[in-house]
A and B are shown apart, each in its own frame.
Chain A
Amino acid sequence: MSNWIEVGQLEEIPKQGSRVVKTSDFNIAVFRTVNDEVFAVKDACPHKQGQLSQGIVHDKKVTCPLHNWTISLESGEALGPDEGCTNVFVAKVESGLISIDLG
């Protein structure tokens, strides 16, 4: 099942930045990389639930502001020796409009 929602324009997120989509249950961090790729993951680090949306975005990764865990935006998995995973949502950009699939 897919459940696509429109999030907003690509320009509304800074390059190497992130904005938050709030739902009633949890927040989703939507990222824009330096190459204008867009990714969406649950806004909670697998380590201590830090807000990944507040981290530094580099390559296709984000580094959590709380304890510097680095999370792959493609897989939601912690990189390096750290282990853990956060949910990933499929995201797409069409004519500058970002949509994500809430599944």
Chain B
Amino acid sequence: MKEKLVMIGNGMAGMRTIEELLKIAPDMYDITVFGDEPYGNYNRILLSPVLAGEKTIDDIMLNTMDWYEENNIKLHAGKRVNEINRIARTVTAEDGTVEEYDRLLIATGSKPFIIPVPGHDKEGVIAFRDIKDVDTMLDATKNHQHATVIGGGLLGLEAANGMMQHGMKVTVVHLVDTLMERQMDSVSGKMLKNSLQEKGMDFRMGAQTAEITGNGRVSGIKFADGTSIETDLVVMAVGIRPNMELAQKAGLHCERGIVVNDTMQTYDPRIYSVGECVQHRGDTYGLVAPLFEMAKVCANHLAQMGIGLYEGSVTSTKLKVTGIDLFSAGDFIGDESTEEMVMQDATSGLYKKLVLKDNKLIGAVLYGDTKEGAWYFQLMRSGQDISDIRDKLLFGESHLGDSGHGGDHILNMSDDTEVCGCNGVCKGDIVQAITSEGLFTLDEVRAHTKASASCGSCTGLVEQILESTLGSDYETPEAKPLCKCTEHTHEEVREAIRERKLTSINDVRRSLNWKTQDGCPACRMSLNYYVQSAWHHEAQDDPQSRFINERAHANIQKDGRYSVIPRMWGGMTTPDELRAIANVAEKYEIKDVHLTGGQRIGLYGVEKEVLPKIWKDLNDAGMVSGHAYGKAMRTVKTCVGKQWCRFGTQDSTALGIKLEELTWASWMPHKFKLAVSGCPRNCAEATIKDFGVVCVDSGYELHIGGNGGIKVRATDLLCNVTTEEEVMEYCGAFIQYYREDAHYLERTAPWVERVGFSQIEDMIVKNEEKRKYYNKRFLEAQKISQVDPWKARATGGVAPHEFASIKVVSL
């Protein structure tokens, strides 16, 4: 018999836990849910846009009544639980409904705090918490003129803005002098107040409410200083309190909230709790991103996987008031141990403040232009050292040397602006999917819309759209798991592979408790690469965990045929090679012969069965695989150098050939290109390659981390050296460090930006021992790796099944 899981509270945190649980252990529990509102689960954060008339209730439903039925969940909607009996393991609702549990999840959320001033219980005094409150406010806008919001925090201002949209005159009463003082410093708070005043909002700052007056229904407010105002409606938005009475009554340990440990268990291990009702490591949370992190951990534990831990969250805030852009996160006030960077332009209404500590970003306030918010937040959560980008930090990610995408302001983009050029997805499609499908993460948006799911260059834009649509509730995972089959990050997996000497994909999955038996394409390809890069002698390649191109040693084309690109060392060729290529093209009726960007010749439109025959012919002419299909070293582009060119300073062609002989047939996290230019005119475009050499009169400039693809990035100059031997050593060391440190599918350009140029410089330039160590490891790995895969398949009998059909039937 299945165990019984009962959940009290049909809100976002609780239901997210149930959804996560259904994803990983769909048949483990009989699930029953109690909710005291008569609805399914809705997106509470989007109540502000509902109030402002920008969305409807239907738009913000996350789980409809049908959903519960489809997933065999018993929903008691509109029933409030008033007792938990921990001995009998039952819960009882007010109407007498009793349910037994094996495990109980308390997700009762929070209650708005109502200031207990005289008159607080009059008709027309409400909070802003649920659909009923929104209905009350909307009714008031029809019959009344003047509303007052007590509390100038995030929720209060959104409520005030919403009612103002319906033509009400709204006054905001705030106890201190700065609006949203928990999210803003005084400068940005003042800018916000000015903008809201321009929109017509009234303020009573530094005002303490003494009494709510009126005969039955509210008619005014008296303040402690003796002044008063008239009003027809009072909305209290002065904060929330964890809703823990039920848990307290059941004898569970509570302080400011229901106290839970890192696996979201209360002091009774059968009873879990998530969401705004909990207190974790002394903190309570009122934003949705942390709640979702808790949900994930809790579901993981309920599914008895026992590997997730919740370790607290850094949160960010965004105000959802149309026309006002405001973002804040972390410690944005700072103290004597911190530094700040400030940019202020009152005329354009721009303000940016960043707080730094020990070369790390720990807090940010942005006003007027928040498009860099997601990036700053990411920097804060990853704890990245920012010394390398310090001079550009304040200006934002778009000033880091990228060109191409970005720069557009999300809010100014029209709905028909194309965001994802690969899949033709417009901004409107993405916003529509986020609101109608209830999406919260980049992965979900990718799955539903395909935006940023191909080349990924618009990922930043899509994240910004998520953020601007969801406000503070956009979830950026602190450390991204490698894939959906595990909670572990790339770094954790690689460390385990090294520390525990894991030499096969299966070992990794077993050792790290993978959630799936044989993984998914993402982790299979990554793990296959990781075990081999760590243990090149011991690890076995798993061809079934390679993308088809690397299994067939040719690029699959859109019609299912393949392309063949033989290596041309350093971009040099001979009449014999050209003749052999021409012969192959004629013999196998190859339609298209194309000159590639890497100084080679490509043959296109080859049937798979023919590949080994073509390879044989090319091998016979002395040619080998160009690895143009792999996450591997591709080409070394060269110019003719001092051999022919009157400006050439060194023999760039010969050096290119040496480098290609050194590095060919090496597998990489992603494709890897080199170039050698004979002089600073740089005809071989070495400054947009992963490793580029620019010859100068005194020797060689070594450049790293360039990219001419999705995002153009010029290289960083690593160092100058004087001999070809040094070029080779630095090249080998750099490649090996990249191979052992970068995430699978991370090119050198984003890798250099992620780990910081100075770390690579420390490792390769400043530390001779490390440089020699990495170069040595590279050379050892190359001894095993430098086998022509074409020859092995054309004549060596490797993987014959790959190139032949198993059966031909004539029907």
Q: Contact residues of A with B, CB < 8 Å?
A: 5-8, 12-17, 19-25, 27, 30, 33-35, 48-51, 54-59, 63, 65-68, 80-81, 102
Inter-chain contact A20/B805, CB cutoff 8 Å:
yes
Q: Would you give 29 A-B contacts (Cβ < 8 Å), ordered by A?
A: A5-B807, A5-B809, A8-B807, A12-B801, A13-B806, A14-B543, A14-B544, A14-B801, A20-B805, A21-B806, A21-B807, A22-B809, A24-B809, A27-B805, A30-B806, A34-B517, A48-B558, A50-B560, A51-B556, A54-B556, A54-B560, A55-B548, A56-B544, A56-B545, A58-B520, A58-B524, A59-B517, A63-B521, A67-B454
Complex contacts, A22 vs chain B, CB 8 Å: 805, 807-809
Determine if B87 is an interface residue (Cβ-Cβ < 8 Å).
no
Complex contacts, B809 vs chain A, CB 8 Å: 5, 21-24, 102
Complex contacts, A19 vs chain B, CB 8 Å: 801, 805-806
Inter-chain contact B811/A51, CB cutoff 8 Å:
no
Chain A CB within 10 Å, residue with most, of B519, B520, B544, B807: B807
Q: What is the size, in residues, of chain B's interface with A at 8 Å between Cβ atoms?
A: 30
5 additional A-B pairs beyond A19-B801, A68-B453, beta carbons within 8 Å, are: A6-B807, A14-B801, A16-B544, A34-B517, A48-B558
The residue that A56 contacts in the complex, of B448, B547, B805, B811, with Cβ under 8 A, is B547
A81 to B516, CA, bound (A): 20
Inter-chain contact A81/B811, CB cutoff 8 Å:
no
| Chain B, residue nearest A82 (CB) | B447
Interface residues of B in 763-811 (CB under 8 A from A): 801, 805-811
Q: Render B512-545 as a binary contact track against A, CB cut-off 8 A, 1 for contact.
A: 0000111111001100000000000000000111
| Chain A, residue nearest B809 (CB) | A23
A55 to B556, CA, bound (A): 11
* Cβ of B449 to closest chain A Cβ, rounded Å: 8
Complex contacts, A12 vs chain B, CB 8 Å: 801, 806
A93 to B477, CA, bound (A): 45
Inter-chain contact B560/A68, CB cutoff 8 Å:
no
Complex contacts, B519 vs chain A, CB 8 Å: 58
Inter-chain contact B560/A51, CB cutoff 8 Å:
yes
| Chain B, residue nearest A15 (CB) | B544
A4 to B544, CA, bound (A): 28
| Chain A, residue nearest B608 (CB) | A54
A54 to B809, CA, bound (A): 20
* Cβ of B453 to closest chain A Cβ, rounded Å: 7
Chain A binding surface SS class: loop
Chain B CB within 10 Å, residue with most, of A7, A27, A30, A66: A66
Complex contacts, B811 vs chain A, CB 8 Å: 23-25, 102
Inter-chain contact B801/A24, CB cutoff 8 Å:
no
Inter-chain contact B558/A66, CB cutoff 8 Å:
yes
Interface residues of B in 423-449 (CB under 8 A from A): 447-448
A53 to B276, CA, bound (A): 48
Complex contacts, A24 vs chain B, CB 8 Å: 809-811
Complex contacts, A80 vs chain B, CB 8 Å: 447
Complex contacts, B560 vs chain A, CB 8 Å: 49-51, 54
* Cβ of B623 to closest chain A Cβ, rounded Å: 25
Complex contacts, B520 vs chain A, CB 8 Å: 58, 63
Complex contacts, A102 vs chain B, CB 8 Å: 809, 811
* Cβ of B253 to closest chain A Cβ, rounded Å: 42
Kindly list the 10 A-B residue pairs having the minimum CB-CB distance in the complex, ordered from nearest: A19-B806, A16-B544, A54-B548, A34-B518, A56-B521, A20-B805, A22-B808, A65-B548, A51-B560, A63-B521
A65 to B810, CA, bound (A): 27
A2 to B454, CA, bound (A): 41
Query: Contacts A13-B801, A14-B801, A58-B520; is A65 near B447 (CB within 8 Å)?
Result: no
| Chain B, residue nearest A12 (CB) | B806
Complex contacts, B545 vs chain A, CB 8 Å: 16, 56
* Cβ of B126 to closest chain A Cβ, rounded Å: 39
Chain A CB within 10 Å, residue with most, of B447, B516, B806: B806
* Cβ of B609 to closest chain A Cβ, rounded Å: 10
* Cβ of A77 to closest chain B Cβ, rounded Å: 15
Chain B CB within 10 Å, residue with most, of A17, A20, A33, A54: A54
Inter-chain contact B801/A21, CB cutoff 8 Å:
no
* Cβ of B319 to closest chain A Cβ, rounded Å: 31
* Cβ of B803 to closest chain A Cβ, rounded Å: 11
Q: Render B750-767 as a binary contact track against A, CB cut-off 8 A, 1 for contact.
A: 000000000000000000
A49 to B454, CA, bound (A): 18
Interface residues of B in 541-565 (CB under 8 A from A): 543-545, 547-549, 552, 556, 558, 560
Complex contacts, A27 vs chain B, CB 8 Å: 805
Query: Contacts A51-B560, A102-B811; is A20 near B517 (CB within 8 Å)?
Result: no
A79 to B806, CA, bound (A): 27
Complex contacts, A8 vs chain B, CB 8 Å: 806-807
Complex contacts, A81 vs chain B, CB 8 Å: 447-448
Inter-chain contact B805/A17, CB cutoff 8 Å:
no
Chain A CB within 10 Å, residue with most, of B448, B454, B519, B801: B801
A25 to B556, CA, bound (A): 22
A75 to B583, CA, bound (A): 46
Complex contacts, B548 vs chain A, CB 8 Å: 54-55, 65
| Chain A, residue nearest B433 (CB) | A81
* Cβ of B583 to closest chain A Cβ, rounded Å: 28
